[in-house]
Amino acid sequence: MRVSETVTRPESDRLPREIYVLVGASFLIAIGFGLIGPALPNFAASFDVGVTAASFVVSAFALVRLAFAPASGRLVTRFGERPVYLWGLSIVAVGTLACALAADYWQLLLFRSASGVGSTMFTVSAIGLLIRISPPRLRGRASGLWGTSFLLGGIAGPVLGSGLVAVSLRAPFLAYGLALVLTTLLVWWQLRHSELASRPPDEDVPAMTFRQALRHPTYRAALASNLANGWVVLGVRMSLIPLFVTAVLAKDASFTGIALAVFAAANAAVMLLAGRFADRRGRKPPAVAGLALLAVGTVLMGVTSDPWVFLAASLVAGVGSGGVNPSQNAAVADVLGAKARGGSVLAGFQMAADVGAVVGPLAAGAIAEQWSYGVAFAVTGGMAALAFVLWLLARETLPPSHDSEHTAQDVATEDCCPEARGRG
């Protein structure tokens, strides 16, 4: 047994090949999101509908993602991560290609909404695959690499998409749909014989329930930080900042682009470092520090009228978000355990971000309209501050050097049967 441990230990310091397959797929998927981003509202408006109807095509995708997340979790638990991942990619590919051929507004709305179903399927299953494939003590690094690839793809996508829009409003959808078909085939080809990515046929580990996971304080903290991250990064950053730049800073859209780029660059620069730190020193320190910076940077953005201070605040908030992401993802993986049989746990975690992305812009916009932008940014920063407090109360979940794990199922057992703790 000791010889076997000596042989396998060095391999635990390297990420498996399958991780890089998922990272590459994440980059291509994110580029596609960016490709269609500049075209979607204008494409909807080309069918002679109003601004509200054109905007709803964008919102419908997020709403369907949110509504279908629990079903996606059950599919992952029932069929495994790899099949659901490939099904999800295929659905988005077909839905996107159908958008390119839409003959009216209602067809576009239907096909884009259907793409939301596939999107939540491959998102939830991708997190499960990362957990299953990543060595326990390299989960932060794997999450950081995966998140960075998606972020970089999201930055590159709009640049390419703006060029395709000049050709045709349908061209980005056609390009993204074909790219998704190729990505699906690539992932299937690379993972079809992977033992790491497949669920053993004799695996009899019971699926972890969402209620069991909620008993773990670190999972509750991860839900709160993902809600805050969705609220700030996916919601308010994209909806409120452009309005604030115009109304308060008296700058044009080009300055908005600079501010968003500063945030994204800081996010990308920190994410890999935060993931490595989370693997070496623990999940809590980068999560706590990141949430503190995210809260401070967000509040500061709303109280300044100086463009340079605003850019500095965007930088601080970007660094904070980059510190949170790998840490919370790795912590959820620790709570779930290497077997990763917990589709409802993964779906709940993903839904937290989606809720933030949907509710955040609506709440912040209403607050800004009723009171002020400063209050809206303060409330947004308060979401990060609340998650900061929950992370202070959370347990450290980084597995020790012998790679044993203390999952939420263990916590549930201890809560229900305290005598089990003594026997352990």
- Which of 192, 221, 246 terminates a domain? The answer is 192
Rounded to whole angstroms, the Cα distance separating 21 from 29 reads 12
pLDDT tens digits along 160-172: 776 777 788 888 8
In a shared domain, residues 245 and 383: yes
What's the distance, CA 43 to chain centroid?
Answer: 26
- Which of 157, 192, 227 terminates a domain? The answer is 192
Mean pLDDT of 251-274: 85
pLDDT tens digits along 138-195: 888 988 898 888 888 877 777 777 677 778 888 889 999 998 999 999 999 988 888 7
pLDDT band at 338 (very low <50, low <70, confident <90, very high): low
Beta carbons within 10 angstroms of residue 14's beta carbon:
10
- Which of 192, 218, 235 terminates a domain? The answer is 192
Of residues 97, 114, 106, 120, the one with CA closest to residue 44:
106
In a shared domain, residues 107 and 150: yes
pLDDT tens digits along 280-327: 999 999 999 999 999 999 999 989 889 999 999 999 999 999 999 999
SS3 content of the chain, % helix, strand, coil (to 5): 80, 0, 20
Say which CATH number the domain at 378 has: 1.20.1250.20
In a shared domain, residues 180 and 222: no
- Residue 200's pLDDT is 62
Is 9 part of any domain?
A: no
Is 182 part of any domain?
A: yes
Q: For the chain, give the percent of residues with pLDDT over 90.
A: 35
Is 233 part of any domain?
A: yes
In degrees to the nearest 10, what's the CA dihedral of 287, 289, 293, 296?
110
In a shared domain, residues 146 and 180: yes
Is 199 part of any domain?
A: no
Is 11 part of any domain?
A: no
Beta carbons within 10 angstroms of residue 60's beta carbon:
18
Q: Is 236 exposed, middle or buried (0-12, 13-18, 19+ CB in 10 A)?
A: buried
For residue 287, what are the contacts with CB-CB under 8 A and spacing of at least 6?
221, 225, 278, 323, 324, 327, 328, 331, 391
In a shared domain, residues 185 and 61: yes
In a shared domain, residues 318 and 392: yes
- Residue 9's pLDDT is 38
pLDDT band at 417 (very low <50, low <70, confident <90, very high): very low
Residue 44 belongs to domain spanning: 16-192
In a shared domain, residues 165 and 238: no
pLDDT band at 340 (very low <50, low <70, confident <90, very high): low
In a shared domain, residues 242 and 272: yes
- Residue 3's pLDDT is 35
Rounded to whole angstroms, the Cα distance separating 379 from 385 reads 10
Is 225 part of any domain?
A: yes
Is 355 part of any domain?
A: yes
Locus of tokens 């709570």: 335
Rounded to whole angstroms, the Cα distance separating 377 from 374 reads 5
In a shared domain, residues 36 and 88: yes
Beta carbons within 10 angstroms of residue 58's beta carbon:
13
Rounded to whole angstroms, the Cα distance separating 63 from 84 reads 20
For residue 277, what are the contacts with CB-CB under 8 A and spacing of at least 6?
140, 285, 286
pLDDT band at 132 (very low <50, low <70, confident <90, very high): confident
For residue 395, what are the contacts with CB-CB under 8 A and spacing of at least 6?
216, 217, 218
pLDDT tens digits along 255-264: 877 888 888 8
The answer to whether the CB of 360 falls within 8 A of the CB of 228 is: no
More confident residue, 3 or 133: 133
Phi-psi region of 49 (alpha: psi -120 to 50; beta: other; left: phi over 0): beta
In a shared domain, residues 93 and 138: yes
Tokens representing residue 187 in the block: 């992932």
Rounded to whole angstroms, the Cα distance separating 59 from 51 reads 12
Asked if the model's pLDDT at residue 236 lies above 70, the reply is: yes
| Count of the separate structural domains present in the chain | 2
In a shared domain, residues 173 and 253: no
DSSP 310-333: HHHHHHHHHHHHHHHHHHHHHHHH
Asked if the model's pLDDT at residue 58 lies above 90, the reply is: no
Is 198 part of any domain?
A: no
Which secondary structure element, helix H or strand E, spans residue 52, and what is its range?
Answer: helix 51-79
More confident residue, 195 or 341: 195
In a shared domain, residues 267 and 291: yes
The answer to whether the CB of 352 falls within 8 A of the CB of 223 is: yes
Indicate if the alpha-carbon torsion angle 384, 390, 393, 396 is positive or negative.
negative
The structure's pTM equals 0.82
Strand, coil or helix: 51:
helix
CA atoms within 13 A on the CB side of 229: 29
Whole-number mean pLDDT of the chain? 83
Asked if the model's pLDDT at residue 341 lies above 70, the reply is: no
